Chains A and B, each alone.
Chain A
């Protein structure tokens, strides 16, 4: 059998890659995908815990996270479109008028 920690470590690594992507990516769409990846890493951990504790509540959380991810993608992409129409760019660093 595979120990639960193995799944958790996979989840953690995926989460770390997602974080790194958010930090270094300048492309706003890739940045969004990284956020999705982080959410999925969390989902994997939830499923693993659910299996380990032998209760199904984790599945319900995964379900809710999926919903949030879908909503976030919809709104986020709508924002990307709006910003792109204004700035003709998908560089996240150019969306910086909201400063000092």
Chain B
């Protein structure tokens, strides 16, 4: 087993483990922390694929900003994992849900397996990458040339998201104005993404 393979297997296991733990937590704060674990492992995979910048962005934006926003909201609503979430769904319903999601994964795996290995290079990654692959410069070039309009449109999307969030969380009594305050923080984090 090469080092490369070892890093991949380790990161993949951690990512899947983090995701699995996340969905099985009752306490939302714990769930957020497990999601961060999974994200960090994914960032390692990004770096392994040569996307150093995107790996960094993933950690900074997701782990650093968006999930912090989640934590803010959880704390603001004062959730401790002991809230009444009602009765469990009937077993048949739960079983159905497990089965269909697993079925979906199985189908995806089948399709990926069948299509990728018949693709160019037998599905193996080329050793050499184009110059500047995954670099800031390369991404910037793309975003300001070919993807200029979508890129500019994201600014409108973010703006409307900011407005929407403020409007929705506002219209409250005075003690809830802190809500919009937290929303404005998440706007700042969006700016960070940009």
The reply to whether A and B meet directly (CB within 8 Å) is yes
B12 at the interface (CB under 8 A from A): yes
Please indicate the chain A residues that have their CB under 8 angstroms from the CB of B108 in the complex. Answer: 12, 15-16
Query: What are the interface flags for B91-130 relative to A under an 8 Å C-beta threshold, 1 for contact and 0 otherwise?
Result: 0001001101110110011001100110100011111011
Nearest opposing residue in chain B for A53, CB measure:
B120
Q: How far is the CB of A20 from chain B (nearest CB, A)?
A: 4
Interchain CA distance A8-B113 in the complex, whole Å: 9
Interchain CA distance A75-B163 in the complex, whole Å: 9
Instruction: Specify which of A13, A23, A33, A89 is in contact with B97 (CB 8 Å cutoff).
Output: A23
Interchain CA distance A9-B8 in the complex, whole Å: 12
Say yes or no: A20-B98 contact (C-beta < 8 A), given A47-B49, A91-B83: yes
B19 at the interface (CB under 8 A from A): yes
Instruction: Specify which of B97, B143, B166, B190 is in contact with A63 (CB 8 Å cutoff).
Output: B143
Interface centre among A47, A57, A69 (most CB of B within 10 A): A47
Query: What are the interface flags for B170-194 relative to A under an 8 Å C-beta threshold, 1 for contact and 0 otherwise?
Result: 0010001001000100110110011
Query: What are the interface flags for B43-65 relative to A under an 8 Å C-beta threshold, 1 for contact and 0 otherwise?
Result: 00110111101100110011001
Are A5 and B113 interface neighbours, CB within 8 A? Answer: yes
Please indicate the chain B residues that have their CB under 8 angstroms from the CB of A74 in the complex. Answer: 69, 161-162, 164-165, 183, 186-187, 190
Going nearest first, the 3 A-B pairs with the smallest beta carbon separation are A16-B105, A71-B161, A21-B23
Q: Taking beta carbons and an 8 Å cutoff, which residues of A are in contact with B? A: 1-10, 12-21, 23-27, 29-30, 32-34, 36-37, 40, 43-44, 47-48, 50-52, 54-57, 59-60, 62-64, 66-75, 77-82, 84-85, 89-91, 93-94
